[in-house]
Structure 1
Amino acid sequence: MSAAVAEGTRTMDSARIGILGPMRSRFGDVEATLSGVKLRSILAVLAFRADDNVGRDELIEELDLTRTTGDAVNALHAHVARLRRWLHSNGGRSDMLETVNNGYRLNIDRTAVDAHRFMTLVERALNLAPEAPHVVAAILEDALSLWRGDALPDTLDGPLTATAADQLHQWRAAARETLIDAWIALGNNQKVVLNAHKFIAENPLNESIHTRHILALRRMGRYAEAAEAYQRAERVLQDELGVRPGHELRSSITDPDEQLPAHVPASARYQLLRTH
């Protein structure tokens, strides 16, 4: 193997793409910035569907090229050519972005994309939970540490990226709720309270997180704070959705035994999630 080929192989194998936050691309030890929202959108879609084909027409719709250009196919080819040049200039192999049939494929292992590593870890934890809470908690803490903000915030809001972001945020909700269940099983009420504030701030309509937050406060003897937390949850649900809290959330503040009311564990509720 020539030195050039060896270097190309090393670079491709060590390429990393992050979409769990603003797009981040690394080639070996070097971080590279991709300018242009359309190019970021193409790379994000290809990375989310790494090692799989993405249709030309899908990308044309994603970039809204039919409406904004006179020749959508040529416009897409031009964007893809620019992306290829960028990948090559940062050490990517010539076949890293491949033309296949009527579309394109990013030839990169899925483990090189943070979203796929995250979903694999969460799936592993869901398969273990609600047993082995120590192991589940460790896996999910590692998984959630991959996030750097919301998914795909610096791409176009096209149908493919919007769907990918929705799926990833659903996986994040599954991870958070299952992690909190594991902490509760371990009696780590302080961790529940500290992290529930952050989780609720980012997703104030998640009744499951509100419920477990209140439970943890009550188990710590912080009854006044639990009552305030319930009132905040009740208010946001009424203001945003025009609904009353569900049975589980209502029971969290009234149950005299300070036990979780009859509920389906988060790990069971999210078993219908399927990875890529």
Structure 2
Amino acid sequence: MEPEEAAAAQAKGDLLRNFERILHDDPLIDEVGFLHPTQFHSLLVDSANKSAFQYFWCTDHKLAISSDILPELYRAARRAHSDTALNRPSSSPSASAAALIMMHSKALLILCPDLLTAWNSRKMVLSTNFNLSHLKDELRLCALILSYSPKNESTWSHRRWVIKRLAQRLQDMPELIDKESLLVKNIAEKSKMNYRAWRHRCWLIPYMKIKQVLDELNKSKKWTELHVADNCCFHYRRSLLLALLDGAANGKVSLTCQSEAHLMWKTLPRERVVVEPSSVPLTVVGTTLAQL
């Protein structure tokens, strides 16, 4: 290797090590920004906390990266991840190999969250054994990526995979479902017409208890009033209403005149709910819709 090439490779390696060190030292980073070099320089000049790194700035769990080094940083992260993944044994990776895969793939996915190979390598490591702390860290990583790439389908898909893993061991998931619903609400406020986010929220409905379904109907009512042009929320409410009807058909929820579910139906605006004839008994549909 020529001296110039060796120096360039060393510089790229230093960039990646600095980046991964920041991610390791502050696992609670919740926002990432990619700034033009002039903006990044102004940030360093105006900031009271001087960064020890030339191209990175991190304070109060906020990370800024100069766009000037993104191509080199991406290539270094991809090479490091590929080398680690190729050198791992065919069976379950050792603890050190797993740590390297998780470290390099995290850096790579923050730079380019569409790489399914990196997501799959993380699934491979997380599937070896159930670790609640690691799965919660995975949800935090997904939330970080969604904060600046809210319509990234690969990230939403991986998040659902993590929730499925958690559901296999956790008997009661109301708190997790509430946090997921709040996350989607916050993302939907910033990213209008985000079908992927609302589809994720619909996907959560089977994990909800009836009380949570009713609470979601109540909480989403105000949102629909403020965002009448966003039909994603109306689709979500339709799914919640169908969940109530399914619960009534299975005897899990009462639709008597004094029940909370019935009172919810009475106070709902005149939303049109399309019900497949075969999905709910006619007696339930007739009783419910007649009382609207």
For the criterion TM > 0.5, the same-fold answer is no
Query: In terms of Rg, which structure is larger?
Result: 2
TM-score relative to the length of structure 2: 0.36
TM-score relative to the length of structure 1: 0.38
Larger RCO: Structure 1 or Structure 2 (Cα < 8 Å, ≥ 6 residues apart)? 1
Higher helix share: 2
